[in-house]
């Protein structure tokens, strides 16, 4: 359950601005992704039921299902990032007075680093999926609200870029170099897709506006 969704927006922003370490950049990136998905959903809904777009109704309905699923996941990731950071932070605070304690602490840190990397990595991959949805909505959606889907794509791009910093920070401390390589490749694929589709959206919106 997201501890912030049922509270006023200013409460979350105050928490984000506080001296506490969470919520932080990962959670804020997920919120950016959720807002981007919400805008994509809005444009899809403003395309549904319009006679001028009768030919694309089934595809728009399918895209709306995708953007709403992504919005829900981003909302969950806001909280999951906070929890992953909390577990990692707790591992760093484990005792290290004996060799066994040092070993247990090290193993715990390594385990939590993986979890702390996987959460923002999923954000980046969700952002990639969202930008692809925005790309198609920009092509076939309601031409009167293209600026909104373009804004949605920008928010998705910001979510991916912000999440990438969190992923990289955790990968730097991981000792399993094979896993680091796998996760790095996943991140690069997501960011490359975000960049490519984002640039295309600019041209599509400019051409239809």
d(CA 170, CA 178): 14
Grade residue 69 by pLDDT with cuts at 50, 70 and 90.
very high
Any idea where the domains of the chain sit in the sequence?
9-16+23-208
Q: Is the pLDDT of residue 74 over 80?
A: yes
Does 106 have pLDDT greater than 80? yes
* Average pLDDT of the residues in 59-73: 98
Q: What is the mean pLDDT of residues 184-189?
A: 98
Domain 9-16+23-208 maps to which CATH number in 2.30.130.10, 1.25.40.10, 3.55.10.10, 1.20.120.680?
Answer: 1.20.120.680
Spell out the SS3 assignment of the chain.
CCCCCCCCHHHHHHHHHCCCCCCCHHHHHHHHHHHHHHHHHHHHHCCCCCHHHHHHHHHHHHHHHHHHHHHHHHHHHHHHHHHHHHHHHHHHCCCCCCHHHHHHHHHHHHHHHHHHHHHHHHHHHHHHHHHHHHHHHHHHCCHHHHHHHHHHHHHHHHHHHHHHHHHHHHHCCCCCHHHHHHHHHHHHHHHHHHHHHHHHHHHHHHHHC
Q: Is the pLDDT of residue 77 over 90?
A: yes
pLDDT score of 31 more than 90: yes
Q: Can you give the pLDDT at residue 3?
A: 80
pLDDT at 2: 75
pLDDT at site 133: 98
Q: pLDDT higher for 176 or 209? A: 176
Mean pLDDT of 161-178: 97
> What pLDDT is recorded for position 6?
87
For the residues 126-155, what does the mean pLDDT come to? Answer: 97
Q: Which pLDDT value is given to residue 149?
A: 97
């Amino acid at each position: 359950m997201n501890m912030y969704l049922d509270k006023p927006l200013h409460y979350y922003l105050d928490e984000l601005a506080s001296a506490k370490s969470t919520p932080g950049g990962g959670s804020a990136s997920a919120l950016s992704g959720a807002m981007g998905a919400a805008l994509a959903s809005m444009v899809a809904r403003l395309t549904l039921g319009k006679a001028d777009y009768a030919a694309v109704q089934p595809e728009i309905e399918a895209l709306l299902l995708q953007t709403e699923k992504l919005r829900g996941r981003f909302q969950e990731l806001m909280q999951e990032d906070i929890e992953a950071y909390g577990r990692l932070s707790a591992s760093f605070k484990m005792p290290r007075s004996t060799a066994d304690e040092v070993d247990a602490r090290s193993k715990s840190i390594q385990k939590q680093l993986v979890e702390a990397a996987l959460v923002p990595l999923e954000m980046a991959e969700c952002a990639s999926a969202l930008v692809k949805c925005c790309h198609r909505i920009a092509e076939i959606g309601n031409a009167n609200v293209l600026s909104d889907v373009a804004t949605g794509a920008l928010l998705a791009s910001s979510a991916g870029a912000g999440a990438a910093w969190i992923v990289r920070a955790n990968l730097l401390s991981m000792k399993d170099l094979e896993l680091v390589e796998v996760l790095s490749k996943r991140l690069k694929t997501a960011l490359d897709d975000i960049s490519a589709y984002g640039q295309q959206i600019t041209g599509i919106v400019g051409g239809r506006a």
